[in-house]
Structure 1
Amino acid sequence: MKKLINDPRFAVREMLEGALALAPSLALLAEENVVIRNDLPDAPQRRVAVISGGGAGHEPAHAGYVGPGMLSAAVVGDVFTSPSVDAVLAAVRAVSGPAGALLVVKNYTGDRLNFGLAAEIAREEGIPVEIVIVADDAALASLVAPERRRGIAGTVFIHKLAGAAAERGAPLADIASLARSASSDLRTMGVGLGTCIVPAVGLPSFSLGAEEIEFGLGIHGEKGVRRSAIKPANEIVEEILAVLTGEITPSADKRLAVLVNGLGATPPMELAIVLGHALKSLGGMGFSVSRAWCGNFMTALEMPGVSITLLPLDDRRLQLLDDATPVSAWQGDGQVRLPITIVPGAAAHVDQGVPVPRGPQSDLLRAGALAVADALDGAEAELGDLDGKAGDGDLGASMARGAAAIRNLADRSFATPETLLADLSAGVRRAIAGSSGPFYAAALLRAAGQLRGLDCATEAQWRTAFLAAAQAISDLGGAGRGDRTMLDALLPGHEAWQQATDQGQNPVAAFFAAAAAAHAGAMASATLMPRAGRASYIGDRAIGIPDGGAVAVAIWMKAIAGVLE
């Protein structure tokens, strides 16, 4: 187990102390893991207190929702363990006044028992207390009665609705009725792509195959209701929405609030993809998504996965969701802006109406370019593996995108050496977003400039353009020979080409010598200490691994040589 913790027994307290160091408006009770608002008035002037909680491991829930317009206090148990009765009671006593307290409780046995008993004791002490049980897990519909379902990420919507109503000064009975109604209406379903490790246990909660996912899991690392093979994000979203939309009872205008919730280890990129398709799919079903949020709201430690919550809206719910709150974990105003704004960029003018005649080298240019594309496609796995050992692993995919850019060239691109290199420069610039794209685009553009106006380039002119391309890469990136980059294939290749020509070899033999020298230079790069690029970040750990960029150069030079033969 690898965790950035000290002793698992003290991890929750240490987490809360660290979090509150950046939250001056919050306070931590001395004897209990309870986070409270630090700005409450004296008890007689307090509005209804909204209190929630549960085990740790769901961050930012629950302490991240403490603040005006949401929770008055959050009670935090050990990881995935209900907080004690005394901790809940301490929270009620700390933040409640004559207006009373609403306890928002997720539907787990431990939470119901401990929050329920604390409420009984508080009532005996004269504090009005109401409890709302959240049981929003739609995945359990065919397995248990509605009142037995788990409470999961939809609980966050109840925090917001109840907290906003309390901030407006609504009485306890009204807030409880509002929260119960919303809890009854909302539905959530999740999918896990992996497991999590509870610090005190030190082992994964269950095992999943490399190509398996788990539908309908909760927020405590438990298994779901069924297992499936991994599939595209859109298909996963469709399966979840099919369950959720079959469970909810929408209003006449079919307004919804949507919560896309990461389970802890899901990158924002993937969550945004899920949100985008959910909005599109729900719109296609006739729903009107009035508000939506996307991010980590109620997690399960480091579990990769996502849940989607649907809450039918009426005017009051929408107004309460829109009420401002400064709490750190409530992200944005939820405004949905569809269709998104897409504006055209300012593109360079290309007069497509002027035909470019075929030149004497057109067939050779096309054959060489397509041979390069085939070679790069064939080497995608090899280049990705090399780059993954000393970089970020994207080189193979980048070169494959470059190959696609070659195949997408128009016929006019093969008219002359200049048009091929200039159009290919623009193509790879758009197709390859990583560092390879700008380097190749700059190299091709400068080489095109060397061949401007030529219908047919001589060997000497091609060789001059080749050196200019290498110089463009050096100028743009600041690297030189020996820095373990593609220049360690390009520059030896040019030297061998020049030397073979000076020795009287024919142009084809001279370029074969260049390709062989480029290959030798690429292999020799394995002995070099990296001084540029991502490989420089790992220092001598890159020794023994040829530079992927240099190997790519050797591959496409060999492909061109094969066409010339």
Structure 2
Amino acid sequence: MVPPAKKFINNPNDVVTEFIEGLVETYPGLQYLDGLPEIKVVLRADVSAANYDKVAVISGGGSGHEPAQAGYVGEGMLTAAICGDVFASPTVDSILAGIRAVTGPKGCLLVVTNYTGDRLNFGLAAEQAKTEGFDIETVIVGDDCALPPPRGVAGRRGLAGTVLVHKVAGAAAAAGLSLAEVAAEAKHASEMVGTMGVALSVCALPGQVTSDRLGPEKMELGLGVHGEPGAAVVDIQPVEVVVSHVLQQILSPETNYVPITRGNSVVLMINGLGGTPLMELMIAAGIAVPKLQLEYGLAVDRVYTGSFMTSLDMAGFSISIMKADQSILERLDAPTNAPSWPVGTDGSRPPAKIPVPLPFRSTKNEESLYRPQELSQQGRILEAAIEAAATVVINLKDSLNEWDGKVGDGDCGSTMCRGATAILEDMKKYYPLNDAAETVSEIGSSIRRVMGGTSGIIYNLLCKAAYAELKANSQSETTSKHWSEALKSSISAVSKYGGATAGYRTMLDALIPASKVLEEKLSVGEDPIAAFVLSAEAATAGAESTIHMKAQAGRSSYVSAEIFASIPDPGAMAAAAWYSAAARAVKEQRQRF
């Protein structure tokens, strides 16, 4: 028997009730009707039917789409939200209770997503409320653009564009408009918006097993927010391809889902479906905006990115595009204290990017900023060593990521590869290779520019300390003893600021043995090249010895010791690899002279 999907819940039957209780504890401006679990209504704490002198705006539907709809209850947006069970339309009694609780003499607008259950239950509640003397109008929102336009009685599904309609209706009501005027603005907004979603997984309902309908290499275009099948199941594509397809579907002149043409102003909403990281949503937004501007000739006046109408834990996102005249923009910009509406802007924005400030280089002459036209013997040796060290790190990327994925966050190889690639590129133009100290300083600059995280800081520390040691001896030609002292100073700096030393399962487990052997061999008159090669062997042995160590520094220190039984420290392996590659390259260069 397949176990249910893992979730942080108690009884699956109580999730909506407990959600509502947590919501109102979090936001003091919200209340709920004391009818749980049958009556699940969230409403503004400052509104009652007896004292409310504006049009009430009510929406709702099945739960599982949070923050929709309860998260949009607040001044300037919804007056109340009616919550059904997960993916189930709320009952007529719940809807009626909400209407009775907040509707005053100016009447009530019901904003209903276009699903059969919602239409029937809200419709019946509206008719009953009218017999009780309430003035009721209803606007149905069907913004789905994934399925072919002729949908018979069912029509287009209501998706995340509904949230924009909520905002327009709520702002119109807050401005004091009549029920007919609020309904007209809401209906107009609903006709101006189109939405299409795409998903990598189907959501798992509380207490139920996770669906395997979508295979590991598949994605679904137009998957419904309740997990219902969409337009097509296709192979996973890069997000740029996905965004292009979705925009084309929404804006297609053949289907004419929304009346948007070149030169129009639009609002863009990138909506996460519950299991999509904000990083991925922002990537989609960054792709969609220039495409709308350059390929479709549209002015993108507002961009909203986040999770506005989800589908439990579904991995996916939807894109909504709304044609935005000045009236709609004013409604979207109007103030609201609804907890889940994003803090927006008025549309004016500075340039998206500005130049990176140039580094302060007043202590260096102009010639030191560039690669020399002719390299000295030392310059050629240094170039070969740097190239060999960087190349071996790039080639080791996948292995480093694999090791790091088992004991850390899995990005050691990718991070190191970025640094190595930058070093190779910058060396072509900027490294003053005839000056060892300044070259080491420039390596640190390359690393600092592209390598994030702890690795970037540590390698920058290495370079800074080595530079200081080499610079102190720059009056004479750089010797093997100078390099040995520079390595020793680098290790001391990393140990001082990072807190690690030998036996801590870090890169120092490779570099400390190398430094000791190099210093010992040079002190007894060993040939410098032979000493370098022997120290590289010590670095490799030190790195391999980390297989048996318990991590005491970095993120790996939080990992169980059993996991380390057969895995070397990726940082130590990387250090041993570039150190050994540099030693081999120096030996080969010396043999040529």
TM band (smaller chain): over 0.9
Contact 1:359 1:416 in 2 (8 A): no
Contact 1:529 1:542 in 2 (8 A): no
Question: 2:576 aligns to what?
Answer: 554
Is 1:101 aligned to residue 113 of structure 2?
no
What stretches of structure 2 of length at least 5 have no aligned partner?
588-593
Q: Which amino acid aligns with 1:522?
A: A
CA 1:187–1:42 in structure 2 vs 1: closer, same or farther (change >3 Å)? closer
Q: Deviations over 1:421-451 (max 9, x none)?
A: 1111111111211211111111112212222
Question: 1:80 aligns to what?
Answer: 87
Is 1:358 aligned to residue 375 of structure 2?
yes
Q: Which of the residues 43, 65, 68 maps onto 1:58?
A: 65
Question: 1:531 aligns to what?
Answer: 552
Q: Which of the residues 166, 189, 208 maps onto 1:159?
A: 166
Aligned counterparts, 1:379-418, within 5 A: 379-408=396-425, 409-411=427-429, 412-418=431-437
| Structure 1 residue 455: Cα displacement | 6.9
Q: Which of the residues 438, 454, 464 maps onto 1:419?
A: 438
Question: 2:590 aligns to what?
Answer: none
What secondary structure, in the 3-state scheme, does the structure 1 residue paired with 2:292 have?
helix
| Structure 1 residue 329: Cα displacement | 0.6
CA 1:535–1:92 in structure 2 vs 1: closer, same or farther (change >3 Å)? same
Contact 2:143 2:156 in 1 (8 A): yes
Q: Distance in 2 between the 1:146 and 1:161 partners? A: 27
Question: 2:282 aligns to what?
Answer: 272
Q: Distance in 2 between the 1:353 and 1:491 partners? A: 35
Q: Which of the residues 242, 259, 272 maps onto 2:269?
A: 259
What secondary structure, in the 3-state scheme, does the structure 2 residue paired with 1:457 have?
coil
Q: Distance in 2 between the 1:207 and 1:504 partners? A: 70
| Structure 1 residue 370: Cα displacement | 1.0
With structure 1 as the length reference, what TM-score do the two structures score?
A: 0.95
Q: Distance in 2 between the 1:413 and 1:436 partners? A: 24
Q: Which amino acid aligns with 2:246?
A: I
| Structure 1 residue 333: Cα displacement | 1.9
What secondary structure, in the 3-state scheme, does the structure 1 residue paired with 2:377 have?
coil
Q: Distance in 1 between the 2:51 and 2:182 partners? A: 19
What secondary structure, in the 3-state scheme, does the structure 1 residue paired with 2:286 have?
helix
What secondary structure, in the 3-state scheme, does the structure 1 residue paired with 2:57 have?
strand
Question: 1:216 aligns to what?
Answer: 222
Q: Distance in 1 between the 2:153 and 2:414 partners? A: 48
CA 1:146–1:168 in structure 2 vs 1: closer, same or farther (change >3 Å)? farther
What secondary structure, in the 3-state scheme, does the structure 1 residue paired with 2:556 have?
helix
Q: Which amino acid aligns with 1:475?
A: K
Q: Which of the residues 216, 228, 233 maps onto 2:239?
A: 233
| Structure 1 residue 535: Cα displacement | 0.7
Q: Distance in 1 between the 2:323 and 2:184 partners? A: 16
Question: 168-177 or 144-153, which moves further after superposition?
Answer: 144-153
What secondary structure, in the 3-state scheme, does the structure 2 residue paired with 1:361 have?
helix
* Identity within the alignment, %: 41
Question: 1:289 aligns to what?
Answer: 300
Q: Deviations over 1:95-119 (max 9, x none)?
A: 1122221111111111111111111
Is 1:516 aligned to residue 537 of structure 2?
yes
CA 1:143–1:527 in structure 2 vs 1: closer, same or farther (change >3 Å)? farther
Q: Distance in 2 between the 1:268 and 1:233 partners? A: 14
Q: Which amino acid aligns with 2:433?
A: F
What secondary structure, in the 3-state scheme, does the structure 2 residue paired with 1:20 have?
helix
Is 1:321 aligned to residue 327 of structure 2?
no
Q: Which amino acid aligns with 2:182?
A: I
Q: Distance in 2 between the 1:489 and 1:71 partners? A: 62
Contact 2:407 2:564 in 1 (8 A): no
Contact 2:191 2:258 in 1 (8 A): no
CA 1:200–1:77 in structure 2 vs 1: closer, same or farther (change >3 Å)? farther
Q: Which amino acid aligns with 2:304?
A: W
Q: Distance in 2 between the 1:541 and 1:162 partners? A: 59
What stretches of structure 1 of length at least 5 have no aligned partner?
none
Contact 1:212 1:228 in 2 (8 A): yes
Contact 2:116 2:154 in 1 (8 A): no
| Structure 1 residue 344: Cα displacement | 3.7
What secondary structure, in the 3-state scheme, does the structure 2 residue paired with 1:249 have?
coil
